[in-house]
Amino acid sequence: MIDELQMSPDTILPLRDVVFETLRKAILTGELKPGERLLEIHLGKKLGVSRTPIREAIHKLELEGLVTTIPRRGAEVSRITEKSMHDVLEVRRALDALCVELACERITKEELTKLEMACLEFEEAVAKGDVKMIATKDVALHDIIVQATGNQRLLNLITNLSEQMYRYRFEYIKDVSRHKKLVDEHRVIYESIRNKDKKTASEAATRHIDNQMQAIIERIRLEK
Amino acid sequence: MIDELQMSPDTILPLRDVVFETLRKAILTGELKPGERLLEIHLGKKLGVSRTPIREAIHKLELEGLVTTIPRRGAEVSRITEKSMHDVLEVRRALDALCVELACERITKEELTKLEMACLEFEEAVAKGDVKMIATKDVALHDIIVQATGNQRLLNLITNLSEQMYRYRFEYIKDVSRHKKLVDEHRVIYESIRNKDKKTASEAATRHIDNQMQAIIERIRLEK
DNA sequence: AAAAACAATCTTGTATACAAAATACATATA
DNA sequence: TATATGTATTTTGTATACAAGATTGTTTTT
């Protein structure tokens, strides 16, 4: 007899979710560009589904902030302005500071070990100079910290805010001269969390986002 | 000839938005109770519309966190747990602190005057002991501060988080013994924003939410 | 030639129909 | 009696049809 049997949960993912993920990815990777209109019939034909799941996916994307809709006119990919990105990063900075403070209080020994590992793996990626790997390891590291807060709502919000800056995630990594700074900042964050030193941790996290903000805003100005 | 003509924007509000507002209000006021199922045909009959706008409204509510849906089973009003409320308030506390800090930097003279007025009106309501009025003036006061940050994203997030605790908004006001504290806290917040004293302002804002948290969590424990 | 009026087309908003999955209840079986 | 099985009902998921508003281009008028 079988004691426990777990079925793969996404065997029959609803179409609307498939469409949502597809469009989301297309927007984040820049395949669908800011300002581009999202026509329901057109997308439906392209993806081989009816308008209904397309509509539902578009609405979900709207709530996530990735698309903007005008009544009786339809949806378009949200335009990114310097102001909107600044707004996002300003909030993100505060929430990241909150994250590390809460992590100081609540992180477990296991998570702390994982965090140290993530730091090392990040340094390794930097040593290799592999930009894609650096980005991946950076996300992994921050993920561990958010998880350690145990706050689901905080996790959701940070995930969403990160999404808004996805297109620019390489900007602050590409500049090799910043690499040492990045490694140092991660180390400070890790050590201050280990020492339960909230003040140092939150200052480091704030600086960390500040640096990214600078790089991203610079990039947006260039796009004009 | 007419130079400018502004049409009332909600003359032809889409049905889905009407339904959304209706359901939202019903949930916030407790007419629809946590755990209650939201059946599409049933709601459609009740509101005199088809399933389509109901579905779209439900999805929007889901993204706002007010309802939870299980695939192939449907939606129900989100259940409020002590943990989930704690998560919400923990984030809210940090964002409110951010708000007053940004307000210190960016508030205009006009907004500062409005804020002072709002403080006085709040005190007036407290003097009268009118709980409903106190709640209204409290919201108005905080609204001015969020507006003063000029950060649209922050405004959206705080609005959403406030929504999650709407049902409990009277809890910390009903207790008359807390009234003096509330008035004092508002005054400290106002004055420190005027003096551009970020530290004092953010500490006061944090305490302000902490007090609410205490009252609300207490209330939730009693409900069990 | 410029502005207004009109018509054709496109696109969203809403309703409805049908398919598939989940649930509940009754019946059969050990 | 407890468990399993089968069936009817309910409910969501998706497709499609139709109505109404928005857009565009053309024609008409001044």
Q: What is the pLDDT of residues A43-61, one digit of tens each?
A: 999 999 999 999 999 999 9
Q: Coil, strand, or helix at residue A80? A: coil
- Residues 6+ positions from B18 with CB-CB distance below 8 Å: B53
Which of 54-93 (A) contact B at CB < 8 A?
Answer: 55-56, 59-60, 63-64, 71, 84, 87-88, 90-91
* Token reading at A7: 């079925």
Q: Quick one: pLDDT at residue A106?
A: 98
Taking only the tens of pLDDT, chain B with its 224 residues reads 223 333 333 345 788 989 999 999 999 988 888 989 999 998 998 889 999 999 989 989 998 889 998 877 889 999 889 999 999 999 999 999 999 999 999 999 999 999 999 999 999 999 999 999 999 999 999 999 999 999 999 999 999 999 998 888 888 888 888 899 999 999 999 999 999 999 999 999 999 999 999 999 999 999 86
Q: Quick one: pLDDT at residue A12?
A: 58
Mean pLDDT of chain A: 90
CATH 1.10.10.10 domain residues, chain A = 15-77
* Token reading at A82: 């310097």
CATH 1.20.120.530 domain residues, chain B = 82-223
Q: Which one of B50, B87, B99, B160 makes the best mutation probe of the A interface by having the most chain A beta carbons within 10 Å?
A: B87
Start-to-end CA span in chain A (Å): 65
- Residues 6+ positions from A81 with CB-CB distance below 8 Å: A220
Is B151 within 8 Å of A91 when comparing Cβ atoms? yes
Lowest mean pLDDT among A63-67, A220-224, B176-180: A220-224
- The nucleotide minimizing the C1' distance to residue A58's CA is C12
* Token reading at B220: 């939730």
Residue A11 scores a pLDDT above 50: no
Q: How confident is the model at residue A1 (pLDDT cuts 50, 70, 90)?
A: very low
Q: Quick one: pLDDT at residue A14?
A: 85
Identity (one letter) of the amino acid at B115?
L
Q: How confident is the model at residue A175 (pLDDT cuts 50, 70, 90)?
A: confident
What's the whole-number mean pLDDT along residues A158-170?
90
CA–CA distance, A184 with A40 (Å, rounded to integer): 48
Q: Is the pTM of this model over 0.85?
A: yes
Q: Which residues of A touch B154 (CB under 8 A)?
A: 87, 90-91
Top pLDDT among B36 and A98 is at: A98
Q: Quick one: pLDDT at residue A174?
A: 86
Protein footprint of strand D, defined by Cβ closer than 7 Å to any strand atom: A 14-16, 49-53, 56, 72-73; B 12, 37-42, 51-52, 55, 69, 71-75
Q: Quick one: pLDDT at residue A6?
A: 38
Which DSSP string do the residues of B157-193 spell out, in sequence order?
HHHHHHHHTGGGTTHHHH-GGGHHHHHHHHHHHHHHH
Nearest chain A Cα to B91, which residue? Answer: A154
Residue of B183, B213, B174 lying closest to B96 (CA atoms)? B213
Domain spanning B82-223, CATH class? mainly alpha
Instruction: Find the length of chain B.
Output: 224
CA–CA distance, B98 with A206 (Å, rounded to integer): 12
Is B60 within 8 Å of A63 when comparing Cβ atoms? yes
Q: What is the CATH number of domain B15-77?
A: 1.10.10.10
Query: Taking every pair of C-alpha atoms in chain A, what is the biggest distance, in angstroms?
Result: 65
- The nucleotide minimizing the C1' distance to residue A39's CA is C11
Which of 108-127 (A) contact B at CB < 8 A?
Answer: none
